[in-house]
């Protein structure tokens, strides 16, 4: 029996570094785009993975490691909020609204896909 | 040669700083979810995280007292792991429709407002610094 703190922490350390790496990569590819594709990508992909392990009925330890730890840390609400506020205050209000909606719609799509995959 | 070595060490340092921050941030979110069970725990983590990140981001721009390394540990590591979008989205999907609409609306509104409060705190610091 491993303490939840180590499972969550180990998953989170990996998730946080993967988020940083994803952001570096995506922001490099989508440079000069106003839409924050990096944070959008981690939020959609992380929601898909969290939903998948949940729907597949993973045990407590796996949920701590992959769910609370890795996916919880891979995705981020704070960066998403700051991104949205920044778009809004720089005058891109339509894009800010679309970004806020797109994150949720993307996450919903990821969760729906995970549900479909889990029933295969 | 020495330069690439220095660049590699620098990358390694950033990875460690982000990982350590992430380790602590996710555990803090877990502790909060035990203290405040259900949707409230995720809501509290997300809103508090937005407040703190709003402050840190604007502090870096307006005042600049905190070092870049602090940003890697605190913002990229700790706060981005303390807050979560995946749990938020999955909880919303698994809630009854009316609860889900209220939960998503409240988290979005309070999260954005918290960023603005953080920005105001950073600006007041700029005035006194």
Candidate from A16, A84, A111 with C-beta closest to B22:
A16
Query: What pLDDT is attached to residue B95?
Result: 97
| Interval B81-115: pLDDT, tens | 999 999 999 999 999 999 999 999 999 999 999 99
Tokens 């924050």 sit on residue: A36
- Whose structure tokens read 């700790």? B78
pTM for this entry: 0.94
State whether B27 and A8 contact (CB < 8 Å).
yes
* pLDDT band, very low/low/confident/very high, at B128 (cuts 50, 70, 90): confident
Confidence band of B1 (pLDDT split at 50, 70, 90) = low
Do the beta carbons of residue A16 and residue A79 sit within 8 Å?
A: no
Reported ipTM: 0.95
3-state class (DSSP) for residue A37: helix
Q: What is the pLDDT of residue B88?
A: 98
- Dihedral angle, C-alpha A98, B101, B28, B122, nearest 10 °: 50
Cβ–Cβ below 8 Å for B93 and A111: yes
Mean pLDDT of B34-55: 97
Nearest to B49 by CA among B20, B21, B71, B81: B81
Q: Which residue reads 């350590």 in tokens?
A: B20
Q: Which residues of chain A have a CB within 8 Å of the CB of B54?
A: 81-82, 85
HSE-CB for B84 with a 13 A CA cutoff: 37
Rounded Cα distance, A84 and A43, in Å: 14
Chain B positions in Cβ-Cβ contact with residue A104 (cut-off 8 Å): 89, 104
Distance of CA A70 to the CA centre of its chain: 10
Residue-wise pLDDT tens for chain A (120 aa)? 678 999 999 999 999 999 999 999 999 998 889 999 999 999 999 999 999 999 999 999 999 999 999 999 999 999 999 999 999 999 899 999 999 999 999 999 999 999 999 998
Would you state the pLDDT for residue B24? 98
Q: Which of B85, B89, B77 is nearest to B27 (CA)?
A: B77
| A118 touching B (Cβ < 8 Å) | no
User: In the prediction, which pLDDT does B78 show?
Assistant: 97
Q: What percent of chain B has pLDDT over 90?
A: 89
pLDDT tops 80 at residue B127: no
Q: Is the CB of A24 inside 8 Å of chain B's CB atoms?
A: no
């Amino acid at each position: 029996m491993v303490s939840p703190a180590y499972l969550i922490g180990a998953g989170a350390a990996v998730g946080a570094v993967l988020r940083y790496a994803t952001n570096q990569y995506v922001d490099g590819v989508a440079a000069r785009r106003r839409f924050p594709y990096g944070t959008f990508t981690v939020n959609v992909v992380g929601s898909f993975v969290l939903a998948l392990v949940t729907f597949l009925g993973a045990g407590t330890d796996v949920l701590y490691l992959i769910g609370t730890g890795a996916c919880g840390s891979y995705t981020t609400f704070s960066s998403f909020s700051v991104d949205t506020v920044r778009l809004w205050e720089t005058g891109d209000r339509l894009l800010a609204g679309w970004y806020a909606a797109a994150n949720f719609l993307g996450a919903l799509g990821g969760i729906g896909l995970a549900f479909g995959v889990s029933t295969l | 040669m020495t330069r690439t070595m220095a660049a590699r060490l620098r990358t390694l340092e950033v990875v460690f700083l982000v990982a350590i921050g992430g380790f602590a941030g996710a555990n803090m979110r877990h502790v909060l979810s035990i203290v405040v069970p259900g949707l409230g725990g995720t809501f509290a983590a997300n809103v508090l995280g937005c407040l703190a990140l709003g402050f840190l981001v604007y502090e870096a721009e307006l005042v600049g007292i905190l070092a870049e390394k602090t940003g890697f540990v605190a913002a990229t590591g700790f706060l981005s792991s303390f807050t979560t979008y995946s749990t938020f989205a999955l909880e919303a999907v698994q809630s009854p429709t009316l609860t889900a609409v209220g939960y998503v609306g409240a988290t979005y509104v309070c999260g954005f407002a918290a960023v603005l409060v953080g920005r105001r705190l950073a600006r007041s610091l700029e005035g006194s610094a």
